[in-house]
Amino acid sequence: MPQAAPSATDPALRVDDLSLVINDARKPISAVNDISFSVDPGETLALVGESGCGKSLTALALMGLLPDAIRVSTGSITLHGSDITTLSERELQKRRGDNISMIFQDPMTTLNPLVTIGNQITETLRIHRKIDRGTARERAKALLERVGVSDAERRLDQFPHELSGGMRQRVMIASAMICDPDVIVADEPTTALDVTVQAQVLALLQELQREAGMALILVTHDFGVVAQTADKVAVMYAGRIVEQGPADAIFAAPKHPYTEALLECSAPPPPIDGRARDRSALPQIDGTVMPLTQQFPGCRFAPRCAFATERCRTEVPRTRGNRHTVACHHPRQDLDTGVGS
Ligand SMILES: Nc1ncnc2c1ncn2[C@@H]1O[C@H](COP(=O)(O)OP(=O)(O)O)[C@@H](O)[C@H]1O
Ligand SMILES: [Mg+2]
């Protein structure tokens, strides 16, 4: 089917009313519900929420890499002028690497332990572009140097286990970038790294993104990471986007009680007796995320929410607002006067 050519003003990626279902033995169970967002070239969108909220499923859907048991039930994912939910596996493969690529949390499970660093990085390049081995190797070497891997020539012939965690994640970034994709999806790319390396890798990712004008979708549970990187934020709770808007508006005036609670839990803790508390002293939101597979007639945050009323337990809140949206019956900021509304 012919597709409209993308125009310069189109977002790099747009998701409209996307729902994902898990194919249970008895009936399909709705896992991710009606989510919409878009990201422009050169922009970073953070997809934030606790573990179990459906962030990784969403990320995999963008790549056309959902597990067998899960499928797109409604909505569209527009990348480079076409809806990728309608593409064949062969067409999807062309998009991956070329138009969109992904960085996973744990490079050790993504990198092939038996393939040299050089061959892992150039694999996508050699599939997508008809270039010879020598040129591909030169490109990989230059990119390794660009992502801060020292002694790049020697590293090309090493195997993943010979590198540190931070270096492996830099290799993953180089692999994701080798075909100059329009969009990079990074799913908790720094969670497995220690704090110092985490900050370096995030800074690198941002630098590369700005240079190349790529759109970045950064999946994280950590508002600290969001503060460092994001232009826009979508807060996800139990399969729904509950709040979305420009990062500065969300930080200045969160509207959803869940966003507010997440922010409270990630704010730098005040010093006690002149000494800084460590992160383990940060508050936690009481309770746990409702499983995506559990049916519930109202707002799924209601069982954990201090402001919940009977209406919250029985009626799913509509998404309201324009630039800064919220799906809550009792938003924490006035919808009319809140920042960004
Ligand atoms: N392959 C799968 N089959 C069935 N259910 C799944 C599968 N993958 C994920 N899920 C369900 O979706 C939930 C959310 O998954 P995920 O997207 O990984 O959340 P997050 O990345 O926000 O932590 C999981 O807790 C699980 O219940
Ligand atoms: Mg995840």
pLDDT in tens, 78-132: 998 899 999 999 999 888 888 999 998 887 778 899 999 999 999 878 877 878 8
Residues having C-beta closer than 5 Å to ion ligand 2: 56
pLDDT in tens, 169-224: 899 999 998 888 999 999 999 888 888 888 888 898 999 898 999 999 999 999 98
Distance from Cα 232 to the centre of ligand 2, integer Å: 19
Q: Is the pLDDT of residue 55 over 80?
A: yes
pLDDT in tens, 260-272: 999 988 865 455 5
What's the chain's average pLDDT? Answer: 88
What are the residue ranges spanned by the domains of the chain? 252-269+296-341
3-class SS letters over the chain: CCCCCCCCCCCCEEEEEEEEEEECCCCEEEEEEEEEEEECCCCEEEEECCCCCCHHHHHHHHHCCCCCCEEEEEEEEEECCEEHHHCCHHHHHHHHHHCEEEECCCHHHHCCCCCCHHHHHHHHHHHHCCCCHHHHHHHHHHHHHHCCCCCHHHHCCCCHHHCCHHHHHHHHHHHHHCCCCCEEEEECCCCCCCHHHHHHHHHHHHHHHHHHCCEEEEEECCHHHHHHHCCEEEEEECCEEEEEEEHHHHHHCCCCHHHHHHHHHHCCCCCECCECCCHHHCCCCCCCCCCCCCCCCCCCCHHHCCCCCHHHHHCCCCCECCCCEECCCCCCCCCCCCCCC
Distance from Cα 55 to the centre of ligand 1, integer Å: 8
Ligand 1 atom closest to Cα of residue 67: 1
Pocket of ligand 1 (CB under 6 A): 22, 31, 49, 51-57, 67, 69-70, 291-293
Mutate to test the pocket of ligand 1, among 18, 19, 20, 22 (most ligand atoms within 8 A of CB): 22
Distance from Cα 46 to the centre of ligand 2, integer Å: 13
Distance from Cα 100 to the centre of ligand 2, integer Å: 18
